[in-house]
């Protein structure tokens, strides 16, 4: 079940959903519009390695906008900070951004119960397109959870994206290789 606008507002009053800053005109029938933050990033290396820390170069979107190119992969960030303590948040692109050929996530559209942070966007474009800080970029949808959650995301000791970051965050897959348990990657020999 997806929360309606009225249910999202009720959950915000209860504190189970937080959106900062909140603007009433951004509430849809069953979603909340989020906006592109002022920072983009690109990986410094053209060849990425899932077992290594791939560093990124961050830059601020100028007031005249920035042209995204089809041959590049960008990390962006939402302007809004969110917390979701009792629902599963999904971030989807807006149809208006999709019609410009902008994809805002490669695979990571779902958050976990207990996700408390800005959303890093995995941006690709089909054609060159100029984007601007503050433009509507996506919409958050909230799903009801059935059953009790054993460990909320923000309480997991091995959660890699818990540090509050108003800028894009690179992949932390490399931390799985170096995890204390050593059991994150499967042996497939």
Q: Helix and strand tally (H, E) in the chain? A: 3, 11
Options 7, 83, 92, 122, the catalytic residue: 122
Tokens read off for 67: 């042209």
Give catalytic status of residue 122 as yes or no. yes
Indicate the burial class of 77 (C-beta count within 10 angstroms; 0-12, 13-18, 19 or more): buried
Collect all residues with Cβ–Cβ distance below 8 Å to 17 and sequence separation of at least 6: 8, 11, 82, 83, 84, 85, 86, 87, 142
Of the candidates 120, 139, 105, the residue with the CA atom closest to the CA atom of residue 34: 139
Handedness of CA 141, 67, 128, 105 (dihedral sign): negative
* Residues designated as active site: 122
């Amino acid at each position: 079940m997806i929360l309606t606008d009225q249910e999202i507002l009720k959950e915000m009053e209860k504190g189970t959903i937080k959106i900062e800053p909140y603007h009433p005109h951004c509430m849809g029938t069953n979603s909340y519009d989020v906006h592109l933050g002022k920072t983009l990033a690109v990986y410094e290396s053209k060849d990425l390695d899932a077992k290594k820390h791939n560093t990124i170069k961050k830059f601020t979107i100028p007031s005249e906008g920035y042209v995204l190119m089809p041959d590049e992969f960008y990390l962006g960030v939402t302007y809004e900070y969110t917390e979701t303590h009792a629902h599963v948040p999904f971030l989807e692109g807006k149809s208006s951004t999709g019609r410009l050929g902008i994809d805002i996530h490669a695979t990571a559209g779902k958050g976990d119960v207990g996700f408390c942070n800005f959303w890093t966007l995995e941006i690709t474009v089909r054609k060159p397109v100029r984007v601007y800080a503050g433009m509507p970029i996506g919409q958050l949808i909230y799903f009801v959870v059935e059953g009790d959650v054993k460990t909320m995301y923000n309480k997991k000791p091995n959660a890699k994206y818990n540090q509050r970051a108003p800028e894009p965050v690179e992949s932390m897959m490399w931390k799985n290789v170096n995890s204390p348990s050593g059991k994150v990657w499967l042996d497939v020999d």
